[in-house]
Chains A and B, each alone.
Chain A
Amino acid sequence: MTTVEKFLKKPIFSLIFSVLLGFLVSSIILVITGYSVPDVLQSLFEGVFSRPRHMANVIIKSTPIILTGVSIALAFKAGLFNMGAEGQFILGSVAALITGSILDLPPVLQVLAIIVSGIIAGALLGALTGFLKSKFGAHEVITGIMFNWMALHFSNFIVNLKEFHKPNSASTFPIKSSGFTGIRSNLGFLKDTSFSDILKTEVNLGIIIAVIVAIFMSIVINKTKKGYEICAIGLNEKAAESAGMNVFKNIIQVMTVSGGISGLAAALMVTGISPHSVSASTNFENNGFNGLAVALIASNSPIGCIFSGLFFGGLLYGGRSVQADVGTPSEIINIIIGVIIFFVAIAKIFPLVVSKFSKKNCEENHA
């Protein structure tokens, strides 16, 4: 096997290839619908990289989906499809809102209390999903979807309570300002320094916590006994059980932690980004569903989720400027991501194709 061939067979190459194909297919769609591909790409690129402020916004936009990505990746490792991350996120944001509005603690404690409440809310819903799965065999995708809708309706109900609802709006009052984690609101003295462009955005502590969680989960999965059990159950539940592992307990534990991470993502969003409130909505904001794409692109590696989350966040943020500059509907981004995931699904085929080609070459060379 040549070096080139070895490189072409690596998973990372399959991924790069999938991403390129995602852009290629979307470009074809753009050409068919009469948009200029270079214009769209330029606008997308500039929308992300032209100013420090844009890059900071990408990070802000990516933070929740990195975390929901890690949440879903962890569940995947145990062979569980945490479709309910969306609902866990919603419930986490509701809990964060309630805690942040009712409690009135000093700044650091207030933030901690909000974050813990978000984690607990998400974890409880995750635990329930895990319990229904292991006790009754109720498929986590189905129950997850039902819980997503229930969480959405529950959230709308809370938003419209008169204790929280901001009159003449679709949202609640913001949480108490002691719960804010934005750097702008806490470190105003940096205003006139070279950081000023970034400070126009809402840079907050979220990304640091997201990276720490991703690294921590990566260590748990790859270096601990628990992680070994999780992966064993994911690979073959029956074999893991006959090897003496407690599948029942592990499924509930994994779903609890997974739900907790999605809840954390929500709490960080409520504390980090204005309007620091929750809005009523008839449809999902997709923080959980986008996490699914993030996890799949990262092949369920928690560290990989950091990068795929930034990539997805960049596309989402850049997609808005594409719509503003070129007039292309921003849903082109969903098509790009969808096509990438499609090729990720068939990624097993890439190494085979490479083998076939190199065999052909060998035969030709020897002929």
Chain B
Amino acid sequence: MPSLLFILSATLMYSAPLVFAALGGVISERSGVINIGIEGMMVIGAFAATTTAHFTGNPWLGFVFGGLAGGILALLHAVACVFLKADQTISGVAMNLIGPGLSMFLCGVLFDGNSTTTPIKNKLPKILVGSDIDIASLMSLLLSVLIWFVFSSTKWGLRVRAVGENPAAADSLGISVSKIRVFSVILSGILAGFGGSAITLGIVTQFSSSCVAGQGFMALSALIFGKWKPFNTYLACLFFGFAQVLSITLNSGSESVLPPVILAILPYLLTISVLIFFVGKSVAPKANGVPYEKSML
């Protein structure tokens, strides 16, 4: 049996990308913009991060560029949803096509027609030399505390929440709904980009078409599971990370406890069961998904 410490550190490692992306989703949706494009933003972040890290040899620079790439894609989504009153779900679908499409296209251009990038030499460092704990795990924990604090105790957090629950009231108090929403969506893209970077700079060492593999959508379910609250969302991500680790460790032993196919579908089965039996009706922010139009009265 693997040690408890190993399970803990592996759980933290696998949940870190989810935490970044899900917290991004929390910010965007609390401001009233649905962002199902998180998957695409994670993919382009993962690509930008590995490419930068490959050419500069510096994973931290890669991490920053991963966030930037996600943010730039989110800018598109923000402009469409906030200023052009786009259907937010369809725009999100477009992000999920453009992000991976652009990443794979540029990957072919930059890496001689290959569909994967060259593996990077330096990963993000681990903390406590010798132990397994990823620095991204620590960062994701700190981030969730920070966002929890911002949402519960600062003016900016209050404004984001107000804009997501009742934009008209916020508007009448002189808060710019558009500005807050654009800012929140871009921030969600940056965090999703960090999430993608955490995958390719921390867990695996190269970008491929399947490195993100639906984690953006897992992050979306984590934020529903966490009822749009930062710290609950963090715990939901830990749970999903744990489910992944469980299926890997149970599978790797000499004699498998359960047939491999059961273990492979276990994380998804757990997610669905949790959504059905434990969450109950989770209620989205009231104005989530509704474009705000300033009335002319």
A interface residues (Cβ-Cβ under 8 A, vs B):
29, 33, 81, 132, 136-139, 141-143, 145-150, 153-154, 156-157, 282-283, 292-293, 296, 327, 329, 331-335, 337-339, 341-342, 344-346, 348-349
Contacts and interface: CB of A to CB of B under 8 A. Distances in A.
A345 B35 CA distance: 13
A334 B221 contact: no
A346 B80 contact: yes
Interface size class of B (residues with CB under 8 A): 35 or more
A146 B271 contact: yes
Nearest to B282: A137
A329 B210 contact: no
B149 interface: no
Contacts of B281: 137
Interface in B72-102: 76, 80, 84-91, 93-98, 100-102
Name the prevailing secondary structure of the A interface residues.
helix
A69 B84 CA distance: 26
Contacts of B224: 139, 142
Given A132-B276, A142-B221, A334 B94 contact: no
Contacts, number: 132
Contact of B94 (A139, A146, A332, A341): A341
A283 B43 CA distance: 14
B127 to A, nearest CB: 31
Contacts of A296: 90, 93
Nearest to A142: B221
Contact of A331 (B104, B213, B264): B104
Interface of B: 36, 76, 80, 84-91, 93-98, 100-102, 104-109, 113, 209-210, 213-214, 217-218, 220-221, 224, 260-261, 264-265, 268-269, 271-272, 275-276, 281
B99 to A, nearest CB: 8
Contacts of A149: 214, 265, 268
B42 to A, nearest CB: 14
B220 A142 contact: yes
Contact of A283 (B95, B101, B213): B213
Contact of B101 (A137, A331, A346): A331
Contact of A338 (B101, B210, B220, B272): B101
A146 B221 contact: yes
Which of B80, B97, B268, B269 gathers most chain A CB within 10 Å? B97
B225 to A, nearest CB: 9
B108 A331 contact: yes
Contact of B102 (A153, A335, A341): A335
Given A296-B90, A341-B90, A145 B217 contact: yes
